[in-house]
Each structure stands twice: as C-alpha cells, then as structure tokens.
Amino acid sequence: MQHFFYAVAKISLSALAIWGISELGRRNHFWGAILASLPLTSLMAFIWMNYEGAKLSEISALSLDIFWLVIPSLLLFLVLPGLIKLGWTFWPALMGAMFSTLLAYGAMILIQKTFIGPGK
C-alpha cells in the first residue's frame, strides 16, 4: 500500500508541474517558458532515483544522457514556429516538428555510438 501512495505522489507532483506550466503559459508566455525550460522532470527523476536507492553512477549516467539528448530536442522549438510562420496549422506543424526532432534524436544516437561508444 505504501508503494501505491508513493506512486500517486510521484504522478501528482509531475502532473502539478505540467499543469503549472500550461496555466502560467496561458497567462504569460514568457514566464510559462521560463518554468517550462527548467529541467523539472529531470530534477524529479534524480530525486526519485536517489530516494529509491539508485547508485550515484546511475544518476550521473542519466544526467549525461539527458544532456546529449536535450540538444536534438531543441529542434522542436525552432521547427514548430517556423512551420506555423509558413502557414501550417497547429497539428500538422506539431507533427512536423516532432518528426524532425525524432530524426535529430536518431542522428544524435548515431553520433553517440560512433564517437562515445556503447555503454559510455
């Protein structure tokens, strides 16, 4: 039962962060962007992992992997407004931005395998 309440707490805190970003973003896009740009999900993951007894090396490896994968994820934030400026409606623009981001993830994974090697 304790595991259930722990899971509910994790889910609730994560949902609260997303709700806060969307509410703040609706009222003021700049402050919503600031809140959204904070690595809240990563911070929560590190805290949960530490609480659950993960090794520091596992937390460190996750942090480094997140760093490298943030780089291709930034493409979404450039492609989405670019496609909207070109006259695309929201859903096709979002899908196009997501697809380009997936391609960038694939490229980054290939780069990591080539230059860093498997298992880092």
pLDDT grade for 119, boundaries at 50, 70 and 90: low
Digit-coded pLDDT (tens) for 54-103: 999 999 999 998 998 999 999 999 999 999 999 999 999 999 999 999 99
Question: Could you state, in order of their start, the residue ranges of all structural domains in the chain?
Answer: 1-38, 55-120
Residue type, 14: S
pTM of the model: 0.72
